[in-house]
Amino acid sequence: MKTEYDSPPNLFVLGCGRSGTSLVAGLLANAGFWMGDSLLKARDANPMGFFEDAKVNQINERILLSSATGSPQKTKPYLLSPGRNWLARIPINTRLEPHTDELENIAATTQNGPFCLKDPRFCYTLAAWRQSAGRHKCICVIRNPASVVTSILKECQTAKYLQGVALTSTDALELWSLMYRHVLLHHSRTGDWLFVSYETLFVSGTFDRIENFAEVSINRSLPDMKYQRSKPSITLNRHTKSLYDELMALT
């Protein structure tokens, strides 16, 4: 795809876990982006793969865990043990202050480019990454929160590494809301953003939008309707519905 630049922008793909971020990253996997050296292996939850780098996850985990050390006591219960904090519910007024070594690890990671990095934790930690990201754009994926909650609860019940994590549907809805409120209030007011609805990923017009935004050709054969497995099983409260409508208006 021809642009005024010699190479496509660096990309961050984010959104609440189980919202289709892996599917969007997968569309870009063969477009020449560096996505990491230690990608998570595919499993039943994501049969096509996660397109997510373990080292990036570890950096984000350390940012969340170390920043919470000096935070008010009410913040700490929202954090989980390492490796599980894509499920962390970080209060909107929490100040994340990465340590010097974490910023150095980010700077070293972002030297690989052009990159396309994906992690739900970016909803919280993105500001730290943008400092050394050069020319970059952000793709935020949105899915009906009722479906997301169903998928999160299923993952907590079936994934071995989440054994002992007992989220309720109320907890999962809070997680969904907090992640996107962080995006809207702390991140998306600056820079280039594309908001994409998971429910429209299977429509060709959405492929065109992603290609134009990312400045590359994508793998249009990847999405498959059979992977739309989690159906809504709860009723949204007024506040969640209002936030969902606000996000959908951006797509």
**φ, ψ of residue 225 in degrees (nearest 5):** -55, -25
Q: In angstroms, rounded to a whole number, what is the distance separating the alpha carbons of residues 244 and 177? A: 9
Using a 10 angstrom Cβ sphere, with 0-12 exposed, 13-18 middle and 19 or more buried, the burial of residue 217 is middle
Q: Which amino acid is at 80?
A: L
53-108 tens-digit pLDDT: 999 999 999 999 886 544 444 445 578 888 999 999 999 988 888 999 999 999 99
pTM for this entry: 0.92
Coil, helix or strand at residue 96: coil
Q: In angstroms, rounded to a whole number, what is the distance separating the alpha carbons of residues 58 and 67? A: 14
Q: In angstroms, rounded to a whole number, what is the distance separating the alpha carbons of residues 153 and 229? A: 13
> What domains are defined for the chain?
10-248 (3.40.50.300)
Q: In angstroms, rounded to a whole number, what is the distance separating the alpha carbons of residues 67 and 84? A: 16
Question: What is the pLDDT tens value at each position of the chain, 251 positions in all?
Answer: 556 668 999 999 999 999 999 999 999 999 999 999 988 887 776 778 889 999 999 999 999 988 654 444 444 557 888 899 999 999 998 888 899 999 999 999 999 989 999 999 999 999 999 999 999 999 999 999 999 999 999 999 999 999 989 899 999 999 999 999 999 999 999 999 999 999 998 788 999 999 999 999 998 887 665 555 556 667 889 999 999 999 999 99
According to DSSP, residue 39 is labeled B
